[in-house]
């Protein structure tokens, strides 16, 4: 099935109604306890599981398109069309009672993000976009991102453990933040990738940095940022794909300056 932009708009409208319904149990379950222990110190709540089941069933029924969710997996990410769902982005924030948590839903076509929806129920913000733009917040069209400078920007960064030895070790992240602080003193660590990407798409943040690789954290936000006129690559400057091991999203000027900062601190492997 070939889809034009009008079809994408219709799918986003249908998905928006599904997420509006899901926002009700999302708000009701705030501060839910951990239910499922995952790799490392990650976890899921019962609300994560319930919302994923609810959204998957509703999307498949109303759009006829399969869903790949964070908690249960599902449809092949390389399908012609597939929804990618994170039922609660910022689970630690959600369980702690913080408002920086949301529902992320991206639509991939042949592995490429073509639409994105990010719902932040505690702040009443609904971000939507289809490929080609514009970005809309609560249905209102937003201006395209303008070129801005790093020293004038607020930058959202992923969190870290100094002792971590993963793909981007804690020491590497500290080295980056040290260099960044010399160029930009306005750094924020919200602990929710999708929140950061939505803010970057809207120009609230000049850029958002993710040291993670999970497609459900990125797909919706990539669509939003690109639709708004921003740039999304990995931390090495390669165009973001569903196989990318990191993500850097932002306005054209800030994005380019941040790539320079990453290049200046060398290879992540040197910090293990």
Binding site listing = 70, 86, 88-89, 217
Which pairing describes strands 207-210 and 155-157: parallel, antiparallel, or unpaired?
A: parallel
Residue 117's contacts (CB-CB under 8 Å, 6 or more residues apart) are 12, 15, 16, 19, 103, 104, 105, 106, 126, 127, 128, 220
Strand ranges for 110-186 from DSSP E: 112-120, 125-130, 136-137, 140-141, 155-157
How far apart are the C-alpha atoms of 15 and 7, rounded to whole Å?
A: 12
Contact call for residues 269 and 262 (beta carbons, < 8 A): no
Q: How far apart are the C-alpha atoms of 55 and 33, rounded to whole Å?
A: 21
Residues annotated in a binding site for Mg(2+)? 70, 86, 88-89, 217
Rounded Cα–Cα distance for residues 83 and 71 (Å): 14
Question: What is the C-alpha to C-alpha distance for residues 101 and 190, in angstroms, rounded to an integer?
Answer: 9
């Amino acid at each position: 099935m070939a889809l034009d932009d009008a079809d994408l708009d219709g799918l986003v409208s249908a998905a928006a109604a599904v997420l509006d319904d899901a926002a009700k149990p999302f708000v009701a379950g705030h501060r839910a306890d951990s239910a499922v222990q995952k790799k490392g110190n990650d976890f899921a709540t019962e609300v994560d599981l319930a919302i994923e089941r609810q959204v998957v069933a509703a999307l498949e029924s109303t759009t006829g398109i399969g869903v790949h969710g964070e908690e249960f997996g599902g449809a092949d990410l390389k399908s012609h069309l597939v929804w990618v769902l994170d039922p609660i982005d910022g689970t630690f924030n959600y369980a702690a009672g913080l408002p920086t948590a949301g529902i992320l839903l991206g639509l991939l076509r042949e592995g490429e993000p073509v639409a994105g929806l990010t719902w932040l129920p505690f702040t009443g913000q609904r971000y939507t976009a289809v490929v080609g733009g514009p970005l809309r917040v609560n249905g209102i069209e937003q201006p395209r991102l303008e070129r801005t400078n790093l020293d004038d920007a607020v930058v959202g960064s992923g969190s870290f453990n100094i002792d971590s030895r993963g793909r981007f070790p804690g020491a590497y992240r500290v080295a980056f933040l040290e260099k960044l602080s010399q160029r930009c003193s306005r750094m924020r660590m919200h602990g929710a990738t999708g929140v950061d990407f939505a803010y970057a798409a809207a120009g609230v943040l000049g850029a958002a940095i993710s040291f993670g690789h999970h497609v459900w954290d990125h797909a919706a936000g990539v669509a939003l940022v690109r639709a708004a006129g921003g740039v999304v690559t990995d931390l090495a400057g390669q165009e973001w794909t569903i196989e990318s091991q990191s993500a850097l999203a932002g306005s054209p000027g800030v994005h380019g300056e941040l790539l320079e900062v990453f290049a200046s601190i060398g290879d992540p492997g040197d910090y293990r």
